[in-house]
Amino acid sequence: GVVPAASTTVALLTDPFCAAHPLVRVQLEVNLRSAGIVERVRRFELDAGILYPDQQDTADLLVTPLYHEQPVLIAAAELLGGEANNMTWSDAVQLPLCLLTQGMRGRRLIDDALATHGLQVTPRLETDSVAALFAHVRTGRWASIVPQPWIHTLGVPAGVSVLALRRPSVTALIALVTNRAEPGSLLTRALRRTAREARIGATLSEPS
């Protein structure tokens, strides 16, 4: 089970896992919420989940950190008015924004960052689809705030700029969770080992 924010990066785990275990078949469910993943892993309905572990009760689960994500602004250069490589949150909310829907953890990170400055955002378009956000930005008439790892895995559309968001800088942990019950399956133990060895955080920090 995978939260939407990790749907673009899950291949950095599943690809080396499948390469090391060629007889294993993997089925991915994406667009799940962190709370739902936790409950389904707890009930053994999912072997593992990739989610935001903060604000979740993971006491009876094994949590393996994968990477930290940081929101960035993406927009066509003509929308940015000459901004070089960063922008304040207060300036970002003045743009025609398309964002993830309210209630999704990635969106709450944005709302929480804005709230620290007494700001609110009213996006002109909301969606639960990663592809839809990028498609709208690609038209040149929309901006969006997305996790930086999306840029590494999906690339930057032609004519689109990526700006860091400052004051405040925001990060969130993405982690793999599995059931803590012993002895645990060979599958989940192997998956945790791959997660530790894959160094996903380091890969995502490399220039794309």
Domain boundaries, the chain: 4-68+173-205, 71-166
So what's the pLDDT on residue 82?
Answer: 67
Q: Is domain 71-166 given the CATH code 3.40.50.150 in the classification?
A: no
- The Cβ of residue 84 has, within 10 Å, a number of other Cβ atoms equal to 8
- pTM for this structure? 0.87
Two domains, one topology: 4-68+173-205 and 71-166: yes
Q: Find all residues with CB under 8 Å of 147, minimum gap 6, and list them.
A: 5, 69, 70, 71, 72, 106
So what's the pLDDT on residue 25?
Answer: 94
So what's the pLDDT on residue 208?
Answer: 56
**DSSP 8-state assignment for residue 156:** P
Which CATH class for the 4-68+173-205 domain?
alpha beta
| pLDDT tens-digit readout, 25-49 | 999 998 899 999 999 999 999 999 9
| pLDDT tens-digit readout, 85-95 | 888 898 999 99
How large a percentage of the chain has pLDDT more than 90? 60
27 residue type, one letter: Q
| pLDDT tens-digit readout, 105-160 | 888 888 988 888 888 899 999 998 888 999 999 999 999 999 999 888 888 888 89
